[in-house]
Amino acid sequence: MKTAWRGIMAEYASFFGFPAPDSIVTLQEGGTPLIPLDRIARELPVPISLHAKFEGANPTGSFKDRGMTLAVSRAAARGARALICASTGNTSASAAAYGVRAGLRVFVVIPEGKISRGKLAQAIVHRATVIQVEGLFDQALAIVREVASTHPIALVNSVNPDRLEGQRSVAFEIVDQLGSAPDYHFLPVGNAGNITASWAGYNAYREAGRLSALPRMMGVQAEGAAPIVLGHVVEKPETLASAIRIGNPASWQGALDAARDSGGTIFSVSDEEILEAYHLLASREGVFCEPASAASLAGCLKKARAGGFSGGERVVLTLTGHGLKDPETVFRTQTSEIRVPARKEEVLSVLGFS
């Protein structure tokens, strides 16, 4: 029998040095598909090799699980009794689930009315204490950082280095699946932990002798929430990609370093470009990701249309979260309603077969 995937900490144990395998808190995260996007790639001005790392296939539907397994395992091993995080949604969903696995209380602090319903449902169903603040993610993060520094509660935002250490695993998997690093790796940037961690992952793999050439890291922000691109904090970030509606990213410097050291860049795309990419993935490739995730394809399309590829480049996009997290975006941007009397002839007439 083929051994089942055991989760990133067991699969990549030598990169984590966790002393007690029995006390790993896991939902068998990672091992996500690297999906070829041949139809989209063929329609670009020049053909490239394009793949999506579909992080929506993680247990709670986003890449956050990679960091959460490590952060919660270590917090539990240190004797933590509770976890806390601020979140635009996915971190809270993941923390809530891993908190259940570890038997810890979980407090999540979220911007009121600004996280998608699916993510809120996850935090609630896993019995986290959900605290909505009348403010932004950035304010919520400042609050939980203070609370965690003065109380015995483990902070599981990506300012916790264990989170980023776990999230390196996405780079390990991409290299293992592709046989090498891609030439370009596009990913959405919000709090900027993921680009920092992915870059660290490629570097750790190279130091371990499993990789020679490194990719260029291409971080994509939403135009209305693009502090790193603008070079200053955005006081009122706005984008329909609620997961990356962040005005003052915690790993700002990490993102700048990743872009500079890899020969990549951080740039922005409009909400219209994000939506176009979101619908392309769903309608042309059968891949349903959440809006923030589609920023990575939007960024890739923008570069392609500007003549930024010469042809044949290997490109990977991280699709950070599942589309089911945020069904409202579908209903807001697309309609499909055909009603007929309940008779076969009526249904056939719609099919055009009369």
Q: Does 192 interact with ligand AN7 (rule: CB under 6 A)?
A: yes
Left (φ > 0), alpha (ψ -120 to 50) or beta: where does 17 sit? left
Nearer to ligand AN7, 189 or 304 (CB): 189
Binding-site member from 7, 30, 188, 227 for ligand AN7 (CB under 6 A): 188
Give, rounded to a whole angstrom, the gap between the first and last alpha carbons of the chain: 50
Q: Give me the least distance between CB of 314 and ligand AN7, in Å please.
A: 22
Q: Does 321 interact with ligand AN7 (rule: CB under 6 A)?
A: yes
CB 39 within 8 A of CB 56: no
Q: Give me the least distance between CB of 249 and ligand AN7, in Å please.
A: 7
Compose the 82-101 pattern: x for residues touching ligand AN7 by CB under 6 A, - for all others: -----xxxxx----------
Q: Does 191 interact with ligand AN7 (rule: CB under 6 A)?
A: yes
Nearer to ligand AN7, 211 or 319 (CB): 319
Tokens of 304: 């392609």
Residues numbered 141 to 160 that lie near ligand AN7 (CB under 6 A) are 158
Q: Does 35 interact with ligand AN7 (rule: CB under 6 A)?
A: no
Q: Which residue matches tokens 């219209």?
A: 272
Binding-site member from 190, 227, 264, 323 for ligand AN7 (CB under 6 A): 190
Where do the H-state alpha helices sit in 22-136? 38-42, 64-77, 90-102, 117-125
Q: How far apart are CA 202 and CA 144, in angstroms?
A: 30
Q: Give me the least distance between CB of 244 and ligand AN7, in Å please.
A: 5
Q: Does 201 interact with ligand AN7 (rule: CB under 6 A)?
A: no
Tokens of 109: 């602090």
Q: Give me the least distance between CB of 321 and ligand AN7, in Å please.
A: 3
CA–CA–CA angle 126, 130, 134 (5° rounding): 155
Contacts of 294 (CB under 8 A, 6+ apart): 241, 274, 275, 277, 278, 281, 319
Binding site for ligand AN7 (CB under 6 A): 62, 87-91, 158, 188-194, 243-244, 290, 292-293, 320-321
